[in-house]
Amino acid sequence: MDTPPYARIAGDIKRRIADGRLRPGDRVPSTRQLARDWGVALATATKALALLAQEGVVVAEPRVGTVVAEARGRGARRPEISGPMSGPVSGHDVTRERIVRAAIEIADTAGLSEVTMRGLAERLGMATMSLYRHISGKDDLVLLMVDTAMEDFPLPADQPPGWRAALETTARLQWAAYRRHPWLAGATSLMRPLPSAGLIKHTDWVMAALADTRLDATAKMHLQILVYSYVQGIAANLELERRARAATGLTDEEWLSGQENRMRALSESGHYPAFAQLIHELGDFDLDLDRLFEFGLGPLLDGLARLID
């Protein structure tokens, strides 16, 4: 009996691991790449990676993709989110900064919802109540986390000339912070903003850049919120994807391949001709959030120029 295509693909990846071409922690080809290389459907490529995952050969890593697992079956370079960081320490040796940094590490790996005072204390190897000598509670902790994360991407000491350069600078720095810390985009909302010094610095930066324009105070505030929302809105998908991958074990490409038949049925139903034409013209489209951010930032600033100049 012929070996099924998905099994042949899985066998090839195993051979590449065995002979050292792929090592623990290396990213394996995506479902789309496998489909192209082997001339098979995305569903077949997905089935091959699913088989390897079931056998413990590969593992899905958040914000990385599917990688070769360690020989013992655990994901390569997977950060632990429990247990002491460097052995037990006494409460007076733990600084507020270390507590906040530990909380950020947990959030970066597992999301903001996994940051609890009890889990944080376990990670630091100390009693939970000892944390409250440094942090008043979860709300205080989140505020400190946001400030610290933003401070890792400081605004320049001198503001560039012109409002456009200033707004582009703040947008790019915020995007960099969200890329480093995906949970950050969901830590605050427009309707209930955090009193964060790290975020207010960006508001102050924008207001200074707009000081000599013809805009009134309300228009300036709307403009600042609009730029902030543009960056935050795209960045929110970073954390949403991390959660989805953790819940399903599938990368975005693997999930999309599972929807291929349904999407094809919709496009071929005759009810959505414009959508069908778009799918036909797009071909093999891969959504890249960095490219999307760049694609929209310039036109956004162009549109604001009509209000400002």
Return the number of other C-beta atoms located less than 10 Å from residue 117's C-beta.
17
How confident is the model at residue 71, as a pLDDT? 62
Per-residue pLDDT of the chain (309 residues; tens, 9 = 90+): 578 888 899 999 998 898 888 888 888 888 888 888 898 887 788 888 888 887 888 887 655 668 888 764 333 333 333 344 434 444 444 588 899 999 999 999 889 989 999 889 888 888 888 888 888 888 999 999 999 999 989 999 999 999 999 999 999 999 999 999 999 999 988 888 889 999 999 999 999 999 999 999 999 999 999 999 999 999 999 999 888 888 888 888 788 788 888 888 988 888 999 988 988 888 777 788 999 999 999 999 999 999 998
CA 258 to chain centre: 22
Q: Using an 8 Å Cβ cutoff, are 253 and 30 in contact?
A: yes
- Rounded to a whole number of angstroms, the distance between the first and last alpha carbons of the chain is 72
Ordered domains of the chain (ranges, CATH):
5-68 (1.10.10.10), 91-135 (1.10.10.60), 163-308 (1.10.357.10)
Predicted local confidence at residue 73, as pLDDT? 36
